[in-house]
Structure 1
């Protein structure tokens, strides 16, 4: 008898959510119940498809479309996408077809107009998205393969990056792991100043509860590394550790130290820490707002020659209602590369 089962797990059921993602061969912080409960602006749902011994798991946030009675699905900030208990390249085509049919029916019954998900660059999705929607390549991300020798890491650093890391050490910049409310609040203050300087989108302005909840959770390892000069904060970054991946999450540099580029020392120390933890990858991510030609991307690319593709999945599940919403809001005339077009 064949097992075919499609169901959802609400974010209120922490144990079921965690048990399900931990049955997969790969997941990152962005798939966890912890992260979805922290990003609480909209409720989260975990879609689960069981097909014989195969498992497909796909987390989303459910957003209401104001004054319409309709909804759409989106992913949390970061690198999300579907995960499985097997490699996607080995999953059966029958399971792909079953998932997409069941998912489409769920969307139809629950008035879901469109679906958007950021995908994880470290995951190979095979043919999973072939049958539905569009996968759009956004930019490249930078990753350090920690399975290589530390000597090869340094050879793959840009020459100027190696020089500046040495300079920072010689000038007595020191990286320390910070804990406690006072240190977190100081990081938050510096982070807000950085976001104001770069005129970041509103979604990057997390409130203080987000940072404290993120750094003081009991479920997953989250690390705040700060670089100091003579006891003065120069720069800091938050890293997550899940499975064999260390993820560079959020960072800031104090205005007085920008010319010294102290964040380079933070990333070098994060690499050494990840090696001690026997991790496989330090994923640095890409440029600001999906760009791969800005200063942030150029900064990160100085640490490795290895690149991954960051892509997103865009899927319209109710084309008639989608077109009505686009026409009603008329946003497409102003932001013609945004998805979904009825949101700004």
Structure 2
């Protein structure tokens, strides 16, 4: 049996997520309810007592009667009440068949979804074409004793953290509206400095909503120096994983690197909250760039990160690429390619 749950069906969406063996806050109804431009859906296959649920965003392709699917910002992919690498082969075949039938009926040309590096989604997704390697994400194992974790930091990182503490930098959980406003200003300044697209910019209301959710445990942590907020992050805990969802540092303090102290403190708070892992994420655009190297200075432990890039209608996909005057052999890591020159496009890969 197939169900198509919309964002207006909060109870149904929430029930599927909470019954899943593994899920992250990126899968939740609340996180999807923050989306304003696209149409969140939860595609569900039920067979007996078991289900597979896949959250996605449906988008209109401009100047056409066609659509494509993408995912929210973060690590999503399918979830289930069973391990996805332990599903019956017939159920995985049925999921593929029903999903492809849905794509055809809804005139959906392509599908993009980041997959979750901690979950066992690949055996299911390999029933389709389009599973792509996207590098790695760095993780801290919070089940190790804290001092053993710190012994794995690069020497210069550990010394910088000690130096920051000596110079009066401190991390506190922030609660007030003033603190939220200060963080939004820091985060926005940070995104503008690195040349991020509008996709990575969020208003104050977004952060207020994120911090008020009852579906996951979210906190705003700020680094202060002489009482002044200089760095911050929204951390979110789901099941046994803590993540720094969004992080920013004031330009004037960038060279001090207070984010190093914040990262160490998040690992402490994560332990206190019973988390097993701290997912630091990867580099910009999934590359092993300077950001990835910065994160790797905390841990040599990483997980493979993959995405799913599926072309449901090759003829229409190629026609859209042609209409956009894009060379189909263009060497860019971007999907779907026909959105590449759209100034409102979001860099998904």
Shorter-chain TM-score bucket reads over 0.9
Aligned to 2:346: none
Contact 2:186 2:230 in 1 (8 A): no
2:87 to 84, 91, 112: 91
Once the two structures are superposed, the pairs formed by residues 163-174 of structure 1 within 5 Å of their partners are: 163-174=159-170
In the TM superposition, residue 217 of structure 1 has moved relative to its aligned partner by 2.8
Aligned to 1:36: 32
2:211 to 195, 209, 215: 215
1:304 to 293, 299, 302: 299
1:274 to 254, 270, 276: 270
Unaligned runs of 5+ in 2: 341-349
1:79 corresponds to 2:52: no
1:260 to 256, 262, 265: 256
SS of the equivalent of 2:91 reads helix
Once the two structures are superposed, the pairs formed by residues 173-212 of structure 1 within 5 Å of their partners are: 173-212=169-208
Contact 1:332 1:341 in 2 (8 A): no
Aligned to 2:5: 9
Instruction: Report the Cα distance in structure 1 between the residues aligned to 2:122 and 2:73, rounded to whole angstroms.
Output: 23
Misfit runs of 4+, over 3 Å:
332-337
What TM-score, normalized by structure 2, do the two folds share?
0.94
1:329 to 318, 324, 339: 324
1:128 to 124, 127, 136: 124
Instruction: Report the Cα distance in structure 2 between the residues aligned to 1:142 and 1:219, rounded to whole angstroms.
Output: 25
What TM-score, normalized by structure 1, do the two folds share?
0.95
- Once the two structures are superposed, what CA deviation does each residue of 1:55-90 show, in whole Å capped at 9, x if it has no partner? 211000000001211100000011111111111221
1:63 corresponds to 2:68: no
1:319 corresponds to 2:281: no
Instruction: Report the Cα distance in structure 1 between the residues aligned to 2:333 and 2:186, rounded to whole angstroms.
Output: 32
1:155 to 151, 158, 177: 151
- Once the two structures are superposed, what CA deviation does each residue of 1:183-220 show, in whole Å capped at 9, x if it has no partner? 11111111111111110122101122212211233332
Instruction: Report the Cα distance in structure 2 between the residues aligned to 1:328 and 1:213, rounded to whole angstroms.
Output: 39
Instruction: Report the Cα distance in structure 1 between the residues aligned to 2:309 and 2:284, rounded to whole angstroms.
Output: 20
Contact 1:332 1:342 in 2 (8 A): no
- Once the two structures are superposed, what CA deviation does each residue of 1:263-289 show, in whole Å capped at 9, x if it has no partner? 111111111011011111111101122
Contact 2:139 2:279 in 1 (8 A): yes
In the TM superposition, residue 146 of structure 1 has moved relative to its aligned partner by 1.2
Instruction: Report the Cα distance in structure 1 between the residues aligned to 2:333 and 2:269, rounded to whole angstroms.
Output: 39
- Once the two structures are superposed, what CA deviation does each residue of 1:285-327 show, in whole Å capped at 9, x if it has no partner? 0112222122x21221121121011111011111221121111
User: 158-167 or 28-37, which moves further after superposition?
Assistant: 158-167
Unaligned runs of 5+ in 1: none
Q: What is the aligned-residue RMSD (CA, Å)? A: 1.4
In the TM superposition, residue 52 of structure 1 has moved relative to its aligned partner by 3.1
Contact 2:223 2:258 in 1 (8 A): yes
- Once the two structures are superposed, what CA deviation does each residue of 1:134-169 show, in whole Å capped at 9, x if it has no partner? 111112111111122222211221111111111111
In the TM superposition, residue 106 of structure 1 has moved relative to its aligned partner by 0.6
Contact 2:191 2:201 in 1 (8 A): yes
2:239 to 227, 240, 243: 243
Instruction: Report the Cα distance in structure 2 between the residues aligned to 1:330 and 1:133, rounded to whole angstroms.
Output: 26
